[in-house]
Amino acid sequence: MGGSVNIMKNRISGKSRNRTTYFKRLIWLVFICVCIPVILIGSIYYKLSVSHLTEELKSQYMTSLNSFMESTEDRLASIEYDSLQFSGSLMVRESFFRENFKDDYVYHGNLLDSMLSRKNVHPPLQEMIYYNDQYDIVLSTDYGYVSKDHYLYSADIDQGFSLDKQAGWMYLPNASSRGYISYVRLLPVLGSTQAQGAVITHVKEETLSQEFQKHYESSDYLTYRIIDSGGVELFHSNSIDNHGMDVSTDPLYKEISEIESRSGIVYGKDENGQATLYLFSKTLLDRIYITSLSEMAIAEQLGWIKFVIIYTVLIFLVIGLIMSYICSRYVYNPVERLIQQGKKLTEKQSFPQSSSNEFEYITECLHYMHEQAESLNKHLKVIEPNIRDQFIGKVIKGEIWDKERIQSESETLQIEEDQMYTVIVVTPEKAYKFLPEEWPLTTFAITNIMKELLLKYELNGYISNGDGMEIIALVYSDDIHSNGYINRDRLNRFAEHTCNEVKKCLSLTVSVGVGSEYSGLKKASESYQEALLALQYRMYKSSSPINYFDSNENAKKQTMFFYPRDLEMEILDYLNKGEQDLTEQSLKKFADVVRASESYNLIYQSYHVLLSSIIRSIEQKGIGLLEIMENNWFDQLKSRQTTGEIVDWFIEVLFPLYFDIIEENQNLSGRIAVQKVWQHVKENIGMNISLTECAELVGMSPSYLSRLFRRETGISFVDYVKRCKVEEAKTLLRDKDMNITQIAQRVGYSERNLSRVFKHAVGMSPGQFRAEHR
């Protein structure tokens, strides 16, 4: 074939190419003369535009950088000033000299109120933390009072306490993982050379990003950085890993630091080696704001010029090609010359020997076409199995139902249309554990195993892939002794061997569904549907992985089925009590009851009802429905195909999630209840407040509230009420001219009880306390 092609190419090149050379040269010369000036002019315009745009962008982004720096510095300065105000307040200073400060919960509450008010005034402020190193106490606007040993983010306090200066911005270990940048101010106590505490303010990094985006419309092209006076990188828009790193050795930082000007432009290269403009501006506190703009970004904005140049060149190129084609086709086309020569030969009734080349050319063309036809036939034989499998798959699924079309394509693809066919569907157990990208390889391996076993058991058929991880086998027998029917024993051994080989080679367990036999390929779709129904028997039959369709299966089912509501209530009761073992036992009883219905739909609906009841139980406890449905529980349940898989899912996935959600909700409700009781005691300090009254207020039993209150605060309810009353009495003794009897009535005590409680708590009588503090 290669020889004839070369000869044909030589004919074309020998008779046509030589006679069109001059025209083509002329066309290409004109084409080049036009394109070169266009390219040169476009290139010059592109360079000038880049230079002009660069100068404009320098001015524009420098103005935006200064504006961004001023607004960001205003935010940072307000937070720094607020931290300084709070640290210097009388309440904070006295906390280091206050007796029994560790147990002074009223004082703690006042500190927290002060921090909360400051947090509410500054929206960017996310959390404010006060730490007293003397008493190892942490007060947080998010977590309230907690000892450092029990504080979840104690590593942040240790890191902040290691600050080598009075105050500064830092990235603390836990806070940075939550997206916070922290301002730490150490609290020195008068007369002490070491810090005795710290105030930590957490600010969201998003605040800086949002501020940047306000001043830069095309922020995608920019990278911005904020570097502290000590060379610590406070913010980097493209690299979170650089936050908090020491960049004092960075050549760019060194170069900018050595420049005396407060703002300017530095030229350099980025980490990818691309030429970049660095615009910088310095604050009075020597913080450096840097914005980088790569020359590639500038070039991207001028991409339309390149497009115009390329488009123009392409237009002229197309024109040149069209002109070349016209010249070759209508002026020097060898085919036209061959036709004219044929007419002359016909008129003369004789063919000179010199004209034999034209017939050789035609013969060579026919020979070439013959070789191409044979090559095409070979190619069709190679791809015919794939076409056959696709056709059979569509027939089985009922996508092709027209009888005439089935007969026609069966004849074309050499498929026996009038055999007795049965469909076998093989699907892996626990298919939900497979990733979608693993499906093709798994189905390919199972398909090859089934093809080998078909030959071994002298069965004929076709293997194709179904939906998901289904493998479909269309099987028939050409045994003349069976009158076209498939030997059931041989078919059963084929299915069993398939299960065993897949288990041995792939370590997978598969289930097999077998439909009934039908005459004709058109009926194969009915056998396929029956095979799918047979696979549903797995929901209540687990004795064998091979399931044959039984038309009498519906007659065997229970005529009456009642949903086991009592077992459902039992499961919910055990779930609410946290009895996991008893919950699992009740679930297994539930599974036995619904499996006895021997109905795939009833079993699935029963589990759906149970899942709905569990979700409703969670929702009744105050959990949002949106939070529950994010787990996509109904889709997870749908992916389980056997009772065992469903029961395992409830035990291994749903029940642990239920317990976690309930426990988290109970902890949150407990804290809210204690805070409510705390506030009630403060507001009614003059009343005779009882534990029963507070329990009714929060809807809990007194004993449970007592345990909860001690767990959350570390002291009993009675001791807390006494301390609140004593603190109120101390305040009145210091600030008011009321006598002891009036003060006792104000805090809800008799004068005698007040003196006894006060002396036990303070170590002196009310009169002695007033004498010392007046």
The domain segmentation of the chain, as residue ranges, is: 88-208, 218-301, 385-556, 565-667, 684-773
Coil vs helix vs strand at 270: coil
Reply yes or no on whether the pLDDT at 346 is more than 60: no
Residue 24 is predicted with a pLDDT of 59
- β-strand 510-514 against 546-548: which pairing, if any? parallel
**Amino acid of residue 292:** S
Pick the closest to residue 199 from 167, 153, 230 (CA basis).
167
Share of residues in the chain with pLDDT > 90 (%): 1
0.85 surpassed by pTM: no
What angle, rounded to 10 degrees, do the helices at 356-396 and 524-536 form?
40
pLDDT of 193 above 50: yes
Give Cα separations from 220 to 52, 425, 600, 653, 680 (angstroms).
Answer: 21, 52, 55, 42, 53
For residues 684-707, give the mean pLDDT: 81
Q: Residue 35 has what pLDDT? A: 66
According to CATH, the topology of domain 385-556 is Alpha-Beta Plaits (3.30.70)
pLDDT above 80 (res 115): yes
Residue 541 has pLDDT above 80, yes or no: no
pLDDT digits (tens, 9 = 90+) for 443-482: 888 888 888 888 888 788 888 877 777 888 888 876 655 5
Q: Do domains 88-208 and 218-301 have the same CATH topology?
A: yes
pLDDT band, residue 345 (cuts 50/70/90): very low
- CB contact at 8 A, 263 and 282: yes
Cα separations (Å) of 709 from 72, 135, 404, 667, 755? 43, 22, 82, 12, 27
Which residues on adjacent β-strands are paired with residue 281? Answer: 263, 289
328: its two tokens: 């070759």
CB proximity list for 302: less than 8 A, separation 6 or greater: 46, 49, 50, 53
**pLDDT at residue 75, as a whole number:** 82
Give the pLDDT band of residue 1 (cuts 50, 70, 90): very low
Q: What is the CATH number assigned to the segment(s) 88-208?
A: 3.30.450
Check residue 667 and give its pLDDT: 64
Look-up of token digits 């493209």:
238
Provide the pLDDT for residue 571: 84
Closest CA to 228 of 209, 247, 206: 247
Q: What is the pLDDT of residue 129?
A: 92
Q: In this model, does residue 365 exceed pLDDT 60?
A: no
> What element of type H or E holds 638?
helix 633-638
**pLDDT of 3 higher than 50:** no
Start-to-end Cα distance in the chain: 119
DSSP letter (8 states) at residue 513: E
Which residue did the predictor score with more confidence, 187 or 712? Answer: 187
- pLDDT-derived band of residue 305, with 50, 70 and 90 as boundaries? low
Name which of 46-55, 344-353, 384-393, 544-553 the model is least confident about: 344-353
Give the Cα separation of 547 and 491 in Å (integer): 12
Instruction: Give residue 24's identity as a one-letter amino acid code.
Output: K
Pairwise CA distance, residues 286 & 259, whole Å: 12
Q: Measured between alpha carbons, how far is 544 from 468 in angstroms, rounded to an integer?
A: 23
Instruction: Kindly report the average pLDDT of the chain as a whole number.
Output: 76
Q: Exposed (0-12), middle (13-18) or buried (19+): which is 107, by Cβ within 10 Å?
A: middle
Asked if residue 187 has pLDDT above 50, the reply is yes
Q: How far is CA 143 from CA 105, 138, 146, 147, 712, in A?
A: 14, 9, 7, 11, 11
Amino acid (one-letter) located at 230 = G
Give the pLDDT of residue 690: 83
- Tell whether the model's pLDDT for residue 524 goes beyond 70: yes
- With 70 as the cut, is the pLDDT of residue 492 above it? yes
Instruction: Please tell me the predicted confidence (pLDDT) of residue 591.
Output: 83
What CATH code would you report for 218-301? 3.30.450.20
Residue 757 CB neighbour total at 10 angstroms: 19
pLDDT in tens, 222-251: 777 888 877 788 777 776 666 767 777 888
* Lowest-confidence segment of 186-195, 263-272, 413-422, 623-632 by average pLDDT: 623-632
> Do residues 504 and 449 lie in contact, with contact meaning Cβ atoms separated by under 8 Å?
no
| pLDDT at residue 359 tops 50 | no
Superfamily of domain 684-773 in CATH is: Homeodomain-like (1.10.10.60)
The CA distance from 246 to 232, in Å, is 5
Q: Identify the pLDDT of residue 199.
A: 92
Residue 666 pLDDT > 70: no
d(CA 93, CA 97): 8
Query: What pLDDT is stored for residue 479 in this prediction?
Result: 63
By DSSP bridging, strand 420-428 and strand 518-519 are: antiparallel
pLDDT of residue 352: 42
